């Protein structure tokens, strides 16, 4: 899968194709600085060489088996209809309004005519949710025009994005399928892609590149820690949340991504020709291919030109296989030696000598201007985490849903707080990181209290706190008590659209990950008029209170906003 043409266009799929380098450029040379913008004026598309397409797969297991990642059900709403559209769609994961009883896409969203980007298999447009007026990016495909393998690529993308939770990875909110189309609803990032930003400026300054690369390394570390290799890292697949200079950057397009086992090699030759690693072209590679592609991207950001240019794809491939980098052009005069060392360590022919994503993120180049000590976390953030530790699981599940769907402006401050704690830059928080962060803010806090706070956020017992879990723990009450947020969270838990939450709903959502006795305990967190049944008003009262179970008894205390 490749890129589109503008804004969130890279979220649109594209087919194979040749590079469109400007004419008149000699193979293996880099034109003078004055022609920088022309050198990257044409975006690349994913090129697949050789091996046959993967076999078609049915709906991914990660979406149908709640035990694979239970709380992903709190984030994503996936609605699949059968081919005849005669059966009510199955709501695997919910987020929309409780009055929508299994609606189709057209009942939930309006679509704007303007196309953000186009690919070989479909377009990307802006859509608006009717119930809230919130805008999203709509990526859709006409399945009747695709091969089974191409449809499988989209389902694979859904599978991966359903379980990824990182501030620099695009969020997938909802998916619909009717008899002819598959609709994917993403967060809208109208700031354009990284390719366009480089082309508009001719090149980026080193300080700006450092800010961006820290986030790239964090996203790749997160993926590689989860045994996922992206396989199509390029400027076109990084998009900006907004047009501001310091806007957040997001990695998109997981259509070529795969999950790998330790020491496993992949053999399908795929990716984008200007960014592809030499071992990929040889047909035997691992996650290290992403690091090469990131290094090529960084070289291009700083120089305004790709390191491996040619008139044809064959010319480019020859240059990639040689792996020679040139830093002799005038634009490199003012680039630091640490930066050049970093690029060389990423764009290294031998993948075994290449930096890992984590090593790249911890390199001295990226941290030479850091403050001596990490900043303290905000005291209001600490207070919110202390409160969150005490609330019951049902309220935590609902708060995670609210947190996942926060708009960028609401996320901005909490995201900054997350980054203060995530000092290793891997996209999640360990107990050690939380301990150190709180020690900087409140040195007198007892360690057992800090451990209780950590366990209160890590409700699945994974040993780390994901991004959305942190956001949920630090939410201000005014956000999660908004009427639409409450409706969405309630509808999420009301899997049968009957207007109440019942024990069977939690069993449906969490499967074998929760025992019947645990479900019974969670249901008792709400003050109800009928045992085992929670109405919306009772749910709202729960959300407005602090409720937790201790020694088998539930306490409910009304709490003020923090």
The residue extents of the domains of the chain are 15-50+196-367, 61-187, 379-558
Q: Residue 43 has what pLDDT?
A: 53
Angle, alpha carbons 246-251-253 (nearest 5°) = 145
| Residue 481, both tokens | 């008590």
Q: Residue 142 has what pLDDT?
A: 83
Q: Residue 131 has what pLDDT?
A: 78
Check if the beta carbon of residue 295 is closer than 8 Å to that of residue 324.
Answer: no
Would you say the C-alpha torsion 10, 12, 17, 20 has a positive or negative sign? negative
Contacts of 91 (CB under 8 A, 6+ apart): 77, 78, 79, 102, 495, 497
Cα–Cα distance between 532 and 466 in angstroms, integer?
30
Q: Residue 133 has what pLDDT?
A: 85
The residue with tokens 């639409």 is: 484
Q: Residue 120 has what pLDDT?
A: 56
Reply yes or no on domain 15-50+196-367 having CATH 3.30.230.10: no
| Residue 308, both tokens | 């491996």
Cα–Cα distance between 253 and 201 in angstroms, integer?
24
Would you say the C-alpha torsion 210, 211, 216, 222 has a positive or negative sign? positive
Check if the beta carbon of residue 181 is closer than 8 Å to that of residue 141.
Answer: yes
What does the pLDDT look like over 135-166, one tens digit per residue?
A: 999 998 888 888 887 777 778 788 888 889 99
Q: Residue 211 has what pLDDT?
A: 96
What does the pLDDT look like over 90-138, one tens digit per residue?
A: 233 333 322 223 468 898 899 998 888 766 556 789 999 887 788 999 9
On the question of a common fold for 61-187 and 379-558, the answer reads: no
Give the catalytic positions in this structure: 232
How many C-beta atoms lie closer than 10 Å to residue 121's C-beta?
24
Check if the beta carbon of residue 190 is closer than 8 Å to that of residue 243.
Answer: yes
Question: Which CATH homologous superfamily contains domain 61-187?
Answer: Phosphorylase Kinase; domain 1 (3.30.200.20)
Give the SS3 label for residue 144: helix
Helix (H) or strand (E) holding 128: strand 122-129
Q: What is the pTM of this model?
A: 0.81
Question: Which CATH homologous superfamily contains domain 379-558?
Answer: EF-hand (1.10.238.10)
Phi–psi pair at 97, nearest 5 degrees: -60, 140
Cα–Cα distance between 560 and 361 in angstroms, integer?
40
Residue 166, phi-psi category: left (phi > 0), alpha (psi -120 to 50), beta (remainder): beta
Cα–Cα distance between 292 and 354 in angstroms, integer?
8
Helix (H) or strand (E) holding 501: strand 501-502
CA–centroid distance for 308 within its chain: 29
Q: Residue 74 has what pLDDT?
A: 52
3-state SS of 242-268 is: CCCCCCCEEECCCCCCEECCCCCCECC
Instruction: Show the low-confidence residues of the chain (pLDDT under 50).
Output: 1-7, 9-42, 45-69, 78-102, 549-554, 556-562
Q: Residue 125 has what pLDDT?
A: 94
Eight-class DSSP state of 377: P
Cα–Cα distance between 189 and 507 in angstroms, integer?
35
Where in 398-516 does DSSP place strands (E)? 501-502
């Amino acid at each position: 899968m490749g890129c589109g043409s503008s804004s969130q266009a890279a979220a649109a799929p594209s087919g194979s194709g040749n590079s469109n380098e400007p004419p008149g450029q000699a193979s293996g040379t880099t034109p003078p600085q004055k022609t920088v913008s022309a050198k990257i004026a044409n975006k690349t598309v994913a090129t697949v060489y050789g091996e046959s397409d993967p076999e078609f797969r049915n709906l991914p297991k990660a979406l149908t088996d709640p035990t694979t990642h239970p709380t992903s059900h709190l984030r994503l709403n996936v609605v699949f209809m059968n081919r005849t559209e005669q059966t009510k769609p199955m709501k695997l994961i919910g987020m929309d309004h409780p009055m929508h009883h299994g609606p189709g896409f057209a009942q939930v969203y309006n679509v704007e005519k303007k196309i953000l980007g186009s690919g070989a298999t479909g377009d990307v447009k802006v859509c608006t949710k009717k119930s809230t007026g919130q805008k999203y990016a709509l990526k859709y495909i006409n399945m009747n025009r695709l091969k089974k393998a191409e449809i499988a690529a989209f389902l694979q993308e859904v599978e991966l994005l359903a379980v990824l939770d990182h501030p620099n990875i695009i969020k997938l909110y909802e998916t619909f399928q009717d008899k002819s189309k598959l609709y994917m609803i993403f967060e809208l990032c109208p700031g354009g892609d990284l390719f366009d930003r480089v082309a508009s400026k001719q090149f980026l300054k080193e300080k700006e590149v450092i800010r961006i690369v820290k986030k790239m390394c964090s996203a790749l570390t997160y993926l590689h820690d989860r045994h996922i290799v992206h396989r199509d890292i390029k400027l076109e697949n990084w998009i900006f949340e907004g047009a501001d200079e310091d806007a957040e950057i997001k990695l998109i397009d997981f259509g070529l991504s795969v999950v790998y086992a330790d020491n496993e090699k992949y053999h399908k030759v795929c990716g984008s020709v200007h960014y592809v690693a030499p071992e990929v072209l040889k047909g035997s590679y691992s996650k290290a291919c992403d690091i090469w592609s990131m290094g090529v991207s960084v070289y291009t950001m700083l120089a305004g030109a790709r390191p491996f240019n040619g008139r044809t794809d064959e010319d480019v491939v020859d240059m990639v296989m040689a792996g020679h980098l040139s830093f002799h052009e005038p634009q490199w005069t003012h680039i630091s030696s640490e930066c050049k060392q970093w690029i060389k360590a990423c764009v290294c022919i031998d993948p075994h000598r290449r930096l890992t994503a984590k090593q790249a993120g911890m390199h001295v180049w990226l941290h030479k201007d850091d403050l001596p000590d990490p900043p303290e976390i905000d005291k209001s953030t600490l207070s919110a985490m202390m409160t969150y530790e005490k609330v019951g699981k049902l309220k935590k599940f609902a708060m995670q849903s609210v947190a996942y769907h926060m708009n960028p402006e609401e996320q901005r401050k909490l995201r900054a707080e997350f980054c203060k704690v995530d000092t290793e830059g891997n996209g999640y928080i360990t107990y050690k990181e939380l301990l150190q962060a709180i020690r900087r803010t409140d040195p007198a806090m007892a360690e057992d209290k800090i451990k209780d706070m950590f366990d209160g956020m890590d409700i699945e017992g994974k040993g780390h706190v994901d991004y959305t879990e942190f956001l949920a723990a630090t939410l201000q009450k005014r956000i999660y008590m908004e009427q639409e947020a409450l409706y969405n969270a309630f509808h999420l838990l009301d899997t049968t659209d009957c207007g109440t939450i019942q024990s069977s709903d939690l069993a449906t959502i969490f499967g074998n990950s929760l025992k019947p006795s645990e479900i019974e305990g969670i249901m008792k967190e709400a003050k109800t008029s009928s045992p085992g049944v929670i109405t919306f008003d009772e749910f709202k009262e729960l959300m407005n209170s602090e409720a937790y179970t201790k020694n088998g008894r539930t306490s409910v205390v009304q709490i003020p906003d923090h």
